[in-house]
Structure 1
Amino acid sequence: ALYTDAKKNLSDAIRFACEDFLGVFVAFDGEIISGTHAVKLKTRSTDSFKSINFPTVADIKLGKITYNNALSYGEHWDKFETHVLRPFKVKTDLCEDIFVLKIYPGIKPDIFDFIKEHYKGVIIESFGIGGIPNENHDIVAKVQELAEAGLAVVITTQCLYEGIDLDIYAVGKRLAKQKVIYAGDMTTEALTMKLMWALGNYEKLSDIKTFMETPFFADRNY
């Protein structure tokens, strides 16, 4: 390619890695984005990655790092761990038996039977703030079957911003009564890896639910 932003992105990443700041981050187009909030929105542009539901951590221009003042509001700084009291340890056990299901109008219940037989966890991308079509087929009942079968069922939204709230509509309230995991405002990308790790390191669904719904390094705001 005649032009590539790879050199600058790599240089920015190395510079920020030298900072006394813990976590996983994406250095792209002069911005430092919390890894759990980074989503690629464009295929060709140099500003293709954006931070979803969280301020960018810092900007890098001409090699100078400037932290975002917006982190001072909403207790954003407090969500990062600035020091570790125990030795660093890598835990790489992952369970890849998960399914990401995007709800669509007219979805048939058979897919839930397939998921129940072949997977240990599922991330369900609902409509809006937590809606699931339930007129022609009792999809909520199928979700309940998954939970009762011992699957880790995560409910999230197809919308990028602002997250879910199952207490708004009747269908959501029915889901809330099940043993589902609230995604909050996490991205599907972050949920996928977090669920894979949780299933690989915990056996009890209660422990998996607690881990998934607990913020780590600012991966969720609620």
Structure 2
Amino acid sequence: MKKVLLLSTGGTIASIKTEKGLTPGRFSRELLEYIPQVKYFAEVTAKDLLNIDSSNMQPEDWLEIAKEIVRNYNDYDGFVITHGTDTMEYTSSALTYLLKNLSKPVVLTGSQKSIEEPLGDANRNLIDAVRFACEDISGVFVAFCGKIINGPRAKKINSKSYDAFDSINYPVVASVKENYVCYHERACQDFEPSLSSYNGQVYCEDQIVPDVNLLKLVPGLDPGLIKEISKHCRGMVIESFGLGGLSDRKRNMFDALENALNRGIYIAITTQVLREGIELGTYALGDKVTNLKVISGKDMTPSALVVKMMWALAKNQNFEELKKVIHTPIQKDIY
């Protein structure tokens, strides 16, 4: 029987009702009491790391979660992290980049309803996460509403519905149906154990640079905002229009970007559009962006791009090196 470590960080799944609304208040051992059936296919040990609303999750917390996995790595076959849904996609991306030589599954899950809700989604999600943590596969994943999603490709798309997450620009890795894990054909190739197992001891990179901001463009945005934001960060991700368009009429974004670049700020460009990514050379305005010293986010999710820049900045101070690291695929996070 596989051994699984359950690490609780709070979130809706562990929340209780108070006069001021839901707040995390349940411990990991209590979560396990709601899913007694897992004892038939896994030996689960529970441990509390945090008990917070995931809106309070910080980059320093990602490091602590990663370190806890490394500390317990040799004693377990897989890991489940219960987490709030609001920032789960950031944490799943961060663990993808921080954990090195990973040869076991790390599965994040949560819920849209507290585990005490009798008709909620928490029980199913937690059972599915434990089940997938028993699989012979390596990587970081999100288990939600019967889907297993590649960690850096996860995106919260619904604020209330149980089907809260989807996989962006990459197929769902697997589905959990009637206690069976059914893999997507593409995932069988990309995540086959023989291809995803590494030689060497697992370890956690111990630095991350949180000074990366995300700016979403809107028509009429004052370019001066880019200048002000650049005073408070080392990196910036800009959600552009469509395939990578920026305004150069009336409110000229290009001058503001050049100013930020000249101040030593690293800038990556992505799109506000949910799927299919950017292609900067398609339109004249996008082609104009290629003349700047910026990094294309290609088909990455904005959240994964932000986190990858935070991780990459901790080890790279040169534009070309940073660009190379961001464009190097890690667990199929970019094409």
Tell me the TM-score normalised to structure 2 length. 0.62
Q: Secondary structure at the match of 2:237?
A: strand
- Deviation, structure 1 residue 55: 0.4
Paired residues of 2:137 and 2:191 also in contact (CA < 8 A): no
Q: Secondary structure at the match of 2:333?
A: coil
Q: Secondary structure at the match of 1:216?
A: coil
Q: Count the aligned residue pairs.
A: 218
Q: Counterparts of 2:287 and 2:200 in 1: how far apart (Å)?
A: 40
Q: Counterparts of 1:174 and 1:81 in 2: how far apart (Å)?
A: 39
Q: Structure 2, unaligned stretches of length 5 or more? A: 1-116
Corresponding residue to 2:301 among 187, 191, 201: 187
Residue 143 (structure 2) pairs with residue 27 (structure 1): yes
1:5 corresponds to which letter in structure 2?
A: D
Residue identity over aligned pairs, in percent, reads 37
Q: Counterparts of 2:278 and 2:213 in 1: how far apart (Å)?
A: 19
Paired residues of 2:224 and 2:256 also in contact (CA < 8 A): no
Could you say which residue in structure 1 is the equivalent of 2:59?
none
Q: Secondary structure at the match of 2:269?
A: strand
Residue 231 (structure 2) pairs with residue 117 (structure 1): yes
Q: Deviations over 1:167-219 (max 9, x none)?
A: 01122112112211110111011111111111123222222111111111000
Paired residues of 2:247 and 2:253 also in contact (CA < 8 A): yes
2:130 corresponds to which letter in structure 1?
A: I
Could you say which residue in structure 1 is the equivalent of 2:22?
none
Q: Counterparts of 2:126 and 2:221 in 1: how far apart (Å)?
A: 43
More off after superposition, 179-188 vs 63-72:
63-72
- Deviation, structure 1 residue 71: 3.9
Could you say which residue in structure 1 is the equivalent of 2:132?
16
Paired residues of 1:59 and 1:65 also in contact (CA < 8 A): yes
Could you say which residue in structure 1 is the equivalent of 2:215?
101
Q: Secondary structure at the match of 1:24?
A: strand
Residue 281 (structure 2) pairs with residue 167 (structure 1): yes
Paired residues of 1:81 and 1:217 also in contact (CA < 8 A): no
- Deviation, structure 1 residue 70: 4.2
Q: Counterparts of 2:303 and 2:215 in 1: how far apart (Å)?
A: 13
Q: Counterparts of 1:38 and 1:118 in 2: how far apart (Å)?
A: 28
Tell me the TM-score normalised to structure 1 length. 0.92
Paired residues of 2:280 and 2:289 also in contact (CA < 8 A): yes
Corresponding residue to 1:2 among 97, 111, 118: 118
- Deviation, structure 1 residue 20: 2.1
Paired residues of 1:150 and 1:205 also in contact (CA < 8 A): no
2:244 corresponds to which letter in structure 1?
A: G
1:49 corresponds to which letter in structure 2?
A: F
More strand by share: 2
Q: Deviations over 1:127-182 (max 9, x none)?
A: 00011111002211221222232211000000011100110112211211221111
2:319 corresponds to which letter in structure 1?
A: L
Q: Secondary structure at the match of 1:101?
A: strand
Q: Counterparts of 2:138 and 2:185 in 1: how far apart (Å)?
A: 18
Could you say which residue in structure 2 is the equivalent of 1:60?
176
Q: Which structure exhibits the higher relative contact order, with contacts defined as CA atoms closer than 8 Å and separated by 6 or more residues?
A: 1
Q: Secondary structure at the match of 1:153?
A: strand
Q: Secondary structure at the match of 1:150?
A: coil
Residue 199 (structure 2) pairs with residue 199 (structure 1): no
1:58 corresponds to which letter in structure 2?
A: A
Q: Counterparts of 1:89 and 1:71 in 2: how far apart (Å)?
A: 25
Q: Counterparts of 2:233 and 2:140 in 1: how far apart (Å)?
A: 28
- Deviation, structure 1 residue 45: 1.2
Q: Counterparts of 1:176 and 1:88 in 2: how far apart (Å)?
A: 38
The 1:81/1:218 distance shift into structure 2, 3 A limit, reads: farther
Q: Counterparts of 2:166 and 2:228 in 1: how far apart (Å)?
A: 34
Q: Deviations over 1:83-106 (max 9, x none)?
A: 112321101311111110001111
Could you say which residue in structure 2 is the equivalent of 1:141?
255
- Deviation, structure 1 residue 36: 0.9
Q: Counterparts of 2:312 and 2:195 in 1: how far apart (Å)?
A: 20
2:132 corresponds to which letter in structure 1?
A: F
Could you say which residue in structure 2 is the equivalent of 1:128?
242
1:27 corresponds to which letter in structure 2?
A: A
